[in-house]
Amino acid sequence: MTTTSARSFSLDRLVRPAVKAIHSYVPAKGAGVPTDRVIRLDMNESPYPPSDHVRAALAAFLETNRYPAFDAGDVREALAAYAGVPVEQVVAGAGLDDVLNSLFQTFLEPGDQVIISDPTFGVYRHLASIYGAETVNVPLLAGWVLDADGVLAAVTDLTKIIIICSPNNPTGNQLDPGAIEKIVREAPCFVAIDEAYSEFAGYTHLPLVDRYPNVGVFRTMSKFAGMAGMRVGYGIYPVDVIREVNKVVPAFHNVSAASAVAVKAALEDIGTLRGNLERTIVLRDLLADNLREIPGVEPYPSETNFILIKLPVDDAGPVVAELANRGIFVRYFGADPVLKNCIRPSIGTTEENEILLNELADILASGASL
Ligand SMILES: Cc1ncc(COP(=O)(O)O)c(C=O)c1O
């Protein structure tokens, strides 16, 4: 029963204007395909299940009644050892999104500016808007090249963070490390380098964290390690910066005890992770070669676990919808004029990639609903 009072409740009055202005992200849905038969290639996940070692660790985990380590010390130790950095410089979180949230919360006040380079990961804009900050876009140049001079020219007194994603999602390419270092060296603000896909590229910007006071490197166990469901990401900061960030990081770093167990076990079994990584790279390059055989289809070079693909259509929407009807989800960029004719599938298993190829070729050849 709802009671009303003279001073009635007005949600509109209470919700922050910055929140009201946010548009929710709606993930893909397929018309009537049972969820267990859907091939999910829209979120850059790993197609591989946990190793026997991770399964055994999770099966042996019983302490659901206990809080995890207060400072997530155990999982941070494991991540620090893997990354080869001191544990004191590592912040963990419930996925990299959560780690970026604590970064933004540390720096951003309403009206501040964050510089990004579109096309890039959409969460940066979303997070900035939650804090009432303005996103300033310095687009990638032709060939998805980072415009270092443009980024530096866009810096104002209000700029708090420049965020660079390399290898970049959704374009798939690694940005020039020299251009990134120039930005770090010359920018009077914090530079966040998102390395969610660095394992696939075999390259890291971590050495910059030792050399400059204004740079952090941000990573995740979701992609190469196949732990997206466990939600564990981490950031590596210079000591002066992490002192401030730690003040806003929630207790337990938002990492559940079960997730900590799974991540530690996954890193103990690094050989399995490396095997999956190598398999994904081989399958990615094979998928790219096969895609090039479909008339008019142009895969962009990728150093990640996904491929951005230009289709011979004005708008990829109907192709994406038809793929979804056939039980294959890929990422579509809808309103974005630069990526409207593109799809971005992640690399699945051999069988999933073959189904994607065949269905895509069939849809494009039939011209059905295009
Ligand atoms: C560039 C980039 N950064 C961060 C994330 C977030 O990863 P997580 O699952 O760790 O939150 C993603 C996920 O797609 C991503 O593509």
Q: Which two tokens stand for residue 200?
A: 């696939």
Lowest mean pLDDT among 30-44, 276-290, 307-321, 345-359: 30-44
SS3 state of residue 306: strand
232 Cα nearest atom in ligand 1: 10
**Concatenated DSSP letters for 142-168?**
TTTB--HHHHHHH--TTEEEEEEESSP
For residues 323-337, give the mean pLDDT. Answer: 93
Q: Is the CB of 97 under 6 A from ligand 1?
A: yes
Q: What are 6-52's pLDDT values in tens digits?
A: 578 999 999 998 888 888 776 666 667 777 789 999 999 999 999 99
Alpha carbon 282 to its chain's center: 21
121 Cα nearest atom in ligand 1: 1
Q: Is the pLDDT reported for residue 370 higher than 60?
A: no
Closest residue CA from atom 16 of ligand 1: 169
User: Ligand 1 pocket: which of 41, 45, 75, 97 to mutate (most atoms <8 Å of CB)?
Assistant: 97
pTM (two decimals): 0.95
Give residue 187's pLDDT: 98
Tokens 């251009």, residue? Answer: 179
Q: What are 185-196's pLDDT values in tens digits?
A: 999 999 999 999
Q: Is the CB of 92 under 6 A from ligand 1?
A: no
Closest residue CA from atom 7 of ligand 1: 96
CA distances from 61 to 39, 55, 56, 57, 266 (A): 30, 10, 9, 6, 14
CA 44 to ligand 1 centroid distance, Å = 9
Q: With the CA atoms of 160, 166, 170 and 173 taken in that order, what torsion angle do they form, in degrees rounded to the nearest 10?
A: 140
Q: Is the pLDDT reported for residue 318 higher than 70?
A: yes
Q: In what order do the strands lie in the sheet with 309-310?
A: 39-41, 328-332, 342-344, 309-310, 298-299
Q: Which two tokens stand for residue 224?
A: 């190469």
Q: Is the CB of 222 under 6 A from ligand 1?
A: yes
Q: How far apart are CA 24 and CA 134, in angstroms?
A: 18
Q: Is the CB of 169 under 6 A from ligand 1?
A: yes
CA 234 to ligand 1 centroid distance, Å = 11
Q: Which residues contact 156 (CB under 8 A, 6 or more apart)?
A: 113
For residues 285-311, give the mean pLDDT. Answer: 97
Closest residue CA from atom 3 of ligand 1: 196
Q: Is the CB of 116 under 6 A from ligand 1?
A: no
